[in-house]
Structure 1
Amino acid sequence: MLRFFVALFALLAAAPAGTTEAGWALLRNGGQVVLINHAHAPGSGDPANFDIENCTTQRNLSDRGRQQARRMGALFFARAAPIERVLTSRYCRARDTADLAFGDNAVEIFEALDYFEPGSKAEEIQTEAVLERIRGYSGAGNLLMVTHQPNIQALAGVNAREGQAIILSRSGETIGVAARVGFD
């Protein structure tokens, strides 16, 4: 019985690495759409005095988050096909993740990637705008979208840890998860 639990533990421990390797294989082929949850930003929500134009009024990346973003960029450049485009939310934690990771690429603001409250009218409008962009993508390089957990949940139906990339599968109108890549 002990051998069974040891084998099960080994299998479960190896699963994330296998998932990550499958993700890198897809990214090397290019043409992928990737949702990235911003790097580590301690806390939850934003302060009452939140201002989208002022980073001092927002939840921001920690030192760990900045390191995570840099590691993300280094790994993408070393292990994936070229990045065709990087789109990001206007929130500072998402913009900083994109800039630190992919600064050599043109990082573009895409407001539909902004944080929203689940169940809000904004969720419906923003999700449809992002889905339109995802469905219409046909580039040879990878399209990266740096966003927030509720957005990823609405788009792909999964939770993503901070700093985790979700590689989407796309078939007609159907969007799913092809693989995940972590940067912890």
Structure 2
Amino acid sequence: MDRRALLRHLLWVPALAVPATARADEAALWRLLQAGGQVVLMRHAATTPGVGDPPGFALGNCRTQRNLSDEGRQDAQRLGRLLRARGIPVERVLASPWCRCVETARLVFGRDPEIEPALGNLFGRPAQEAGQVAQLRRLVRPGQAGNLFMVTHGSTTLALTGVSPAQGEMVVLSPQAAGDFQVAGRLAAR
């Protein structure tokens, strides 16, 4: 087999190799979201290259931050269409004050999110982690008819759940009593 044929083969096979159990788990997560009452941590969509924000960035000035790429904007719009097509009820939308999270929320849900400082980026800010995680736990509570979507950062999701999501990926939490929760699973926008 020549190199091009081998490469095509290697790129094609994994798409077919998704185990049936993974597809069943994904279907169960979509049903869980359709029933409502879940909390969804969504990492912002794809951004321009880099990690963190440039030195001297300002939350009130999007030009000083790392922002969504064109691909990220398209991905966010696609996710919004997917959520609507699947009939996912949305009770509230919260977002980190970072521009990439606010823009992701607007593109996915078609409305301005409520800004929630507890969803702020923890990357490079380890001293803030304990306080923010405590605030986030208070937001994860049962009793909602629809789902609570929180658009945030990978570092913030990791600190709360132990899961490091890809850009645009959702981590579904099933709230329990007293700020506790169970990670129900992860969904990528497809």
TM-score range, shorter chain: 0.7 to 0.9
- In the other structure, the counterpart of 1:141 is 146
Q: Deviations over 1:33-54 (max 9, x none)?
A: 1000000013211101211100
Give the greater-gyration-radius structure (CA). 2
CA distance in 1, matches of 2:165, 2:146: 23
2:172 to 159, 163, 167: 167
CA distance in 1, matches of 2:168, 2:25: 15
Q: Is the 8 A contact 1:46 1:58 kept in 2?
A: yes
SS of aligned partner of 2:56: coil
Structure 1's unaligned 5+ residue stretches are 1-7
2:93 to 71, 86, 92: 86
TM-score normalised by the chain length of structure 2: 0.84
CA distance in 2, matches of 1:118, 1:132: 23
SS of aligned partner of 2:171: strand
CA distance in 2, matches of 1:29, 1:174: 20
1:116 to 87, 110, 122: 122
Percent identity over paired residues: 43
TM-score normalised by the chain length of structure 1: 0.86
2:66 to 50, 55, 59: 59
Q: Is the 8 A contact 2:119 2:150 kept in 1?
A: yes
1:21 to 10, 27, 31: 27
SS of aligned partner of 1:152: helix
Structure 2's unaligned 5+ residue stretches are 1-13
- Aligned pair count? 176
Give the letter aligned to residue 96 of structure 1: E
1:43 to 25, 41, 50: 50
SS of aligned partner of 1:179: strand
Distance 1:80 1:181, change over 3 A: farther
Q: Deviations over 1:9-32 (max 9, x none)?
A: 955455554443222111111111
CA distance in 2, matches of 1:118, 1:108: 24
Distance 1:11 1:167, change over 3 A: same
Q: Deviations over 1:127-171 (max 9, x none)?
A: 111110113x41101100000011111111111010001111233
Q: Is the 8 A contact 1:152 1:158 kept in 2?
A: yes
Give the letter aligned to residue 167 of structure 1: V
Q: Which runs of 4+ in 1 moved over 4 A?
A: 8-16
Task: Kindly indicate whether residue 120 of structure 2 is the aligned counterpart of residue 107 of structure 1.
Answer: no
CA distance in 2, matches of 1:80, 1:153: 28
Give the letter aligned to residue 20 of structure 1: E
Give the letter aligned to residue 54 of structure 1: N
